[in-house]
Amino acid sequence: MPERKIAKQKTVVDIQKLYSDKRKITVLTAYDYPFARIMDEAGIDMILVGDSVGSTVAGYDTTLPVTMEEMLYHTRAVVRGSRTALIITDMPFMSYQADVRDACINAGRLIKEGGAHAVKIEGGVNMASTIAAIVNMDVPVVGHIGLTPQSIHRMGGYKVQGRKGEQASQLLADAKAVEAAGAFALVLEGIPASLAQQITQSINIPTIGIGAGAECSGQVLVIHDILGLCEKYSPKFVKRYADVAQIIRTSVDSYITEVRDGSFPSEEHSFK
């Protein structure tokens, strides 16, 4: 009888083990079934159903318009595509800021109706009680501090955070508050590498960096950025591993040409 490989679903305990073994944690965003399936098969540790779906897929200028219903739809598609990766879903703007009760209900929906394994919340000291309430319902939470896209209007744009001493101390306090509230990991976005290193050394949960240097416990990037699908703007911290937009363009050009000149469909692609 051939041996059947059974994929093992990763849990927060596996992520904690990677951290305690000092192994780097790998995270990418995904918003649909095919991307989730491919990165899951490649062995990614965690998939983030990011509210970046608003800009990468829906074409909004910011993440602010993204709704709970949209996050649920994309989470379900990702969950169907993945067998082993831990799935984290972003709580969208206004699903948790106004009221702790709303936050708990919406976090519960992402787990129960979406199938996510954990939720992510932007904010530090100001969100500590909300994080604690969600963790208290046994829903694992990932924090997110630094350049938090849902605070774009307060920050005055997508700017590196924590360059000044006062801001840096606030971010350190934010990291400690998120840890104390019970989050199992913390995303550090758009902060100087030295500050990210200091935060990573000051807390006992893994830090996942994006534009935060190499000393974090793991890294996350937006899949559309690394594949060259977001051509409008590419931040300095993004490494482009492929130019998929160009592949799509060439393929569509060939299709249009072949349909117009009659070489597609050929006999090979027709029924007898």
Rounded Cα–Cα distance for residues 183 and 120 (Å): 9
Does the footprint of ligand KIV cover residue 123 (CB under 6 A)?
Answer: no
Active-site pick, 70, 122, 189, 231? 189
Name the residue type at position 21. Answer: D
Which tokens belong to 196? 């990210």
**Whether residue 258 lies in the annotated active site:** no
Does the footprint of ligand KIV cover residue 124 (CB under 6 A)?
Answer: no
Query: Which residues, in sequence order, are bridge partners of residue 15?
Result: none
Which tokens belong to 82? 């993945």
Rounded Cα–Cα distance for residues 151 and 122 (Å): 9
Q: Which residue of 15, 19, 26, 29 would you call a contact of ligand KIV, by CB under 6 A?
A: 29
Which tokens belong to 251? 């393929």
What's the angle, vertex CA 161, arms to CA 205 and CA 196, rounded to 5? Answer: 30
Nearer Cβ to ligand KIV (118/210): 210
Does the footprint of ligand KIV cover residue 222 (CB under 6 A)?
Answer: yes
Q: For residue 265, with 0-12 CB atoms within 10 Å meaning exposed, 13-18 middle and 19 or more buried, which class applies?
A: exposed
Q: Which residue of 45, 51, 174, 179 would you call a contact of ligand KIV, by CB under 6 A?
A: 51
Nearer Cβ to ligand KIV (128/147): 147
Q: Which residue of 145, 196, 220, 226 would you call a contact of ligand KIV, by CB under 6 A?
A: 220
CB of 89 to ligand KIV, least distance (A): 10
Nearer Cβ to ligand KIV (45/90): 90
**What backbone torsions phi and psi does residue 221 show, to the nearest 5 degrees?**
-140, 165
**Binding residues vs ligand KIV (CB under 6 A):** 29, 48, 50-52, 90, 187, 189, 210, 220, 222
